[in-house]
Structure 1
């Protein structure tokens, strides 16, 4: 493949020298066929050079042209659904140029002059998602004795969100019913964590969310009650269970791993119209790694801290000569002690994906994975308002017989069918099977120098989840107004299987801090031989109709209605329904967008969302209580400004209204557990700002902040108070600086501030504000002919002690490293 790319570039250069004509080369699995399939374009007016560049990126083309002459000409852009040939003709015809298809399936860009044209030939190459790189060349054009020297610009295939581009992803894979679209022109606040940024942290999934400017991490993935997934707040609201896998929403996905993820897309605030029920604070879309057309072979070795060593193999490429079949394979293994004393992390993953280009307009993608995560000695759920200085964060304060063990198997597919120039059909399906076994530590301060130690034992339980979507996109014009109408829906369904008598909540006594790590293991009352039974089920239905309407180059709107329905049922071992809840609602979404000029998009959005009801769990004194579903509302005004091609600034003002829930800890003394309460509503309003990209050629910044005005409203208790475990202020900044004098050497670092929060609904107990700092270095070089990157990251370099939330303390200083080799 590399030889073929080199050959093509040489041909382009030779043709540029000898023929003296602008060049465009289409890329496809089947060149002529790809040119016949249509897709949606959204390219605003700009110079002809810039419009062609954007067309190449959206079409996945290799493009060569004369930048000087084309920059001087202004183009109206391109909007609507077109084939490559139609799109080129629409762009080029007003400038006296035309695209002529060649025998090999490529295109020649020819200048129309005196009814005569001269042509050139290009070769077809299939590459992957594109960013732009310029490679200067020169060419000599002889015309009646005149000699011209012009540079040659080539667009080559790279991955969106590369470190060299400041980690800025310019497109998103899609949000809910809306398909792939420009990040700048999406009327919601979304941050994209690219694959490069994921890999360059070297510290795992917790660090990825810690670095994100709009996410507050309230519990680490190796803590009790986290279920192997970081607990997070977005806009002050819990978003831990708002998981989306490749565009399909699930209520909860345990054991999230980053090693098979291409990118992570974080949507701030309500998303009821987009994903249906339950997504209020925000949602996280984990986009799986996709097959590649270019050969890919990466090997990474390292540690996420202390002795938690791992190895990761990432492979991809074509399975046949034309690339009609392509694959991706990821294998990962980790085992060793973390920065918490005696805490061992054991993870394994194998995942695969296969793309099949069935014909010109029909693509089928298959994927499957198996993952297993075992944590021995979970860091305790630790309820205390004592000074954090009393604690040694490396201790974890739990015996090493506590654990969390989860296994997940996944099987899925998605298809894309370009029916014609005006219609596209998108489908997807994922089946998940989860098995969990855990013994979790809970510590409560007695405020007499001792701590009550409880363990929550869950014998192996299983859950089977099905999720699917189907959407039809229809593109048409009415009286000069462009429409992209989407009709479809999604549905998820789960079934739970438990063991009779498999849940235990037992107080093992009171201990000093030093004794908590050595509490004796109890004799469990449950038995894995007890009967397994069907204990619960639930489903969510989401039916959507939405229209993306473009009035002109400045004004557009997204409007839609969503029918959302949720049902949840619990069953006894005899098969009788014991309790549950249900709800349904038609919720609207309307967004108005205004672009004063090309690089600035402003918008106003209103959305409603039907929340899940709450089935209060065994860790609360009022377990088996059911809270009914509730409709939340969000108002948002935002702006996105592309300061430069690789630097984006986003901001939003928002207001969210939702049901108020909080933990009443007064029942711990009498009941041994807190009580979960729902009372009135809580209002979350504030402003958020994010920035991503290159400030200079050497300096990259990823950062931002959130400032919240929070209050409880229309409640019997705590009227006007702030919700618990929610920081009103948060600011983060991650930076990279490439040392000019040493090629390949980059210094990295981050500063992360989280403001004060409250442990109790009455706001009498304060969780202090804290700041933590990271530092690191990355060096890219070659060993023999193999590109190799060395990464070293130190987190919490000052070994700061801090309460992350009312029941979780932060991690101690940690040093992670990785060596990545491409072979």
Structure 2
């Protein structure tokens, strides 16, 4: 968002960081997705993995509605991918105060990418209680995700130009590669109204996760797609606890209304890990014409960190913070000013994979202020401006770079602060809405220097304009669209050849359109479509490796009908209708970035039966 990477590690679950699975988050677990654009340290605290300078995603668990729910969904995807899911809920007790919702899914089979397959199992239970003076909720989730021959990213090493994107269905993963992740997680949350004007709230969440991977990332050194792979295995265990406690209230002083919040947050993570990589044993291949190898044993050149079967403690993170904010309303709520500040303490410690000796640590605190102003001349229009910061632990150094070990691999840099200013205007008449924002965010820059050390120098300055349109232009049409023009430049790097260059992976222009249209001629039939455009990007800091932009089109339909007296919803979608071959995303730490290929044309269908 806004040119910054937002990772699954930094996605919130019902307001808490770190509770969701890291690598893949199944959509069946959630009722609603909230997207908060811009920095948010004062609002949410520091993100665990150092992201969210451009925005934060909060996923809300499913809750029992006022009406009973009984749904079974059967799905099929191109490549022989089958799926079955159940979603049931009901309310009980006096005034239906107690709610129960359970959903589960199982998915298995090949994808539209050659030889790629996955197996997904999940289950979630959501409970809630609606009292006159207090509200309680609890959620328990389990997710087991197993991937086989997942198509890896492509590193660029020593090429003079970016190779053309391969056919979207092409796969250069080795047949022995896999990635398994299993997580158990849960939260509890409660609110209590002391008076009509004062409410206390609190939440606690915990996650236990395990991961195992055997991978072979391709480094391309020729525009004809030729390159090399080496085996990289790793295992990881996480124990994460996250909590918040607070008071919110309101009071009136003459013509001035106050809405205040006092909050405290805690985040604690223990990470156990082990790895083994063998870049001394390079195997030749080509992503246009891949060469498959049988399982490759580690050679005498392999480097081991810890025991893959019994990973030990490698990183600890402890975040503690408290925040105070007040929204002051004047002129019958036409003018609102929010002033807030958060004091954040970040403590991280890194340990040697083998000896468990401390290799790096810091214990730092910082104040992150925020101020925002909104003026509403009418009910439909509002004008706003804000200043806010994003505080994060330092990014972690990768273990390898261009087939060489990074000197401080696995260690975290010092914490850093991103600063954001924004001005905007919004319009919403209840049917159609739009917003226009001008923003600038300065984030400290992390990269791998000529000594193969991960370090921080200078900053990445992202400034641009963002336009969104949403709503229902007519009764049978729903629209959600946006376009962003972004200038993301490297500043004060200490290298005059880099200053002013574009940031790796950030396009100047990015836009999307999502449209739904209810066809009047066929009752219950809705046509859907998505158009996504991403402009050209660079995959290196020197801006010599340019990656072409792309535009994709997805088309689908949804049909609600009755079968044997039961409600049935049939859905179908064709992704990448035009068969575009493209590099979907670009990222990187140093002079040579990495590429991820886009998805091929694929058909997905499902039927949901409501009993």
State the SS of the aligned residue for 1:707. strand
Distance 1:654 1:380, change over 3 A: same
Distance 1:350 1:632, change over 3 A: same
Asked if 1:452 is matched to 2:228, the reply is: yes
State the SS of the aligned residue for 1:614. coil
Asked if 1:815 is matched to 2:600, the reply is: no
Q: Matches of residues 199-238 of structure 1 in structure 2 within 5 Å?
A: 234-238=1-5
- Distance in 2 of aligned mates of 1:304 and 1:264: 24
Residue of structure 1 in register with 2:330 after alignment = 551
- Distance in 2 of aligned mates of 1:569 and 1:387: 38
User: Any conservation in 2 of the 1:413–1:428 contact (CA below 8 Å)?
Assistant: yes
Q: Matches of residues 127-206 of structure 1 in structure 2 within 5 Å?
A: none
Q: Matches of residues 407-446 of structure 1 in structure 2 within 5 Å?
A: 407-446=182-221
Aligned-residue offset at 1:281: 1.7
Residue of structure 2 in register with 1:641 after alignment = 427
- Distance in 2 of aligned mates of 1:529 and 1:267: 38
- Distance in 1 of aligned mates of 2:223 and 2:102: 55
Aligned-residue offset at 1:549: 1.4
- Distance in 2 of aligned mates of 1:744 and 1:289: 25
Q: Structure 1, residues 112-139: CA drift from partner, whole Å, max 9, x if none? A: xxxxxxxxxxxxxxxxxxxxxxxxxxxx
User: Any conservation in 2 of the 1:584–1:610 contact (CA below 8 Å)?
Assistant: no
User: Any conservation in 2 of the 1:695–1:701 contact (CA below 8 Å)?
Assistant: yes
Higher relative contact order (CA 8 A, sep 6+): 2
User: Any conservation in 2 of the 1:647–1:695 contact (CA below 8 Å)?
Assistant: yes
- Distance in 1 of aligned mates of 2:164 and 2:203: 50
User: Any conservation in 1 of the 2:360–2:411 contact (CA below 8 Å)?
Assistant: no
Over aligned residue pairs, what C-alpha RMSD do you find? 2.1
TM-score after normalising by structure 1: 0.68
Aligned-residue offset at 1:250: 2.8
Asked if 1:580 is matched to 2:354, the reply is: no
User: Any conservation in 2 of the 1:609–1:632 contact (CA below 8 Å)?
Assistant: yes
State the SS of the aligned residue for 2:377. strand
- Distance in 2 of aligned mates of 1:260 and 1:513: 35
Q: How many residues align?
A: 578
Q: Name which of 285, 290, 298 aligns with 1:511.
A: 285
Q: Structure 1, residues 764-818: CA drift from partner, whole Å, max 9, x if none? A: 1111111111111111111122111111111111110111224211111111111
Q: Name which of 249, 253, 256 aligns with 2:25.
A: 256
Aligned-residue offset at 1:535: 2.3
- Distance in 1 of aligned mates of 2:149 and 2:252: 61
User: Any conservation in 1 of the 2:63–2:99 contact (CA below 8 Å)?
Assistant: no
- Distance in 2 of aligned mates of 1:275 and 1:497: 26
Aligned-residue offset at 1:609: 2.2
Residue of structure 1 in register with 2:589 after alignment = none
Aligned-residue offset at 1:675: 6.3
Write 1 or 2 for the structure with the bigger share of strand: 2
Distance 1:484 1:722, change over 3 A: same
Q: Name which of 554, 558, 565 aligns with 2:345.
A: 565
Q: Structure 1, residues 307-355: CA drift from partner, whole Å, max 9, x if none? A: 2211111111113353232101011100010011111111010100111
- Distance in 1 of aligned mates of 2:286 and 2:490: 37
- Distance in 1 of aligned mates of 2:154 and 2:269: 31
- Distance in 2 of aligned mates of 1:251 and 1:713: 35
- Distance in 1 of aligned mates of 2:245 and 2:411: 35
Residue of structure 1 in register with 2:113 after alignment = 340
Aligned-residue offset at 1:270: 0.6
Q: Structure 1, residues 554-585: CA drift from partner, whole Å, max 9, x if none? A: 11111101111211112235443221333221
Distance 1:531 1:287, change over 3 A: closer
TM-score after normalising by structure 2: 0.90
Asked if 1:793 is matched to 2:573, the reply is: yes
User: Any conservation in 2 of the 1:657–1:683 contact (CA below 8 Å)?
Assistant: yes
- Distance in 2 of aligned mates of 1:468 and 1:505: 40
Q: Matches of residues 354-753 of structure 1 in structure 2 within 5 Å?
A: 354-357=127-130, 359-384=131-156, 389=164, 391-447=166-222, 450-459=226-235, 461-499=236-274, 502-506=275-279, 507-513=281-287, 516=290, 518-524=292-298, 531-553=310-332, 554-572=334-352, 573-620=354-401, 621-622=405-406, 623-642=409-428, 644-662=429-447, 676-717=454-495, 718-753=498-533
- Distance in 1 of aligned mates of 2:218 and 2:285: 10
Aligned-residue offset at 1:515: 5.7
Gapped runs of 5+ residues in structure 2? 587-593
- Distance in 1 of aligned mates of 2:376 and 2:212: 52
State the SS of the aligned residue for 1:746. strand
- Distance in 2 of aligned mates of 1:645 and 1:416: 30
- Distance in 1 of aligned mates of 2:525 and 2:447: 48
Write 1 or 2 for the structure with the bigger share of helix: 1
Distance 1:739 1:314, change over 3 A: same
Distance 1:264 1:545, change over 3 A: same
Residue of structure 2 in register with 1:757 after alignment = 537
- Distance in 1 of aligned mates of 2:398 and 2:481: 36
Distance 1:766 1:663, change over 3 A: farther
- Distance in 1 of aligned mates of 2:94 and 2:198: 30
User: Any conservation in 2 of the 1:329–1:352 contact (CA below 8 Å)?
Assistant: yes
Aligned-residue offset at 1:550: 1.0
Q: Name which of 290, 297, 303 aligns with 2:76.
A: 303
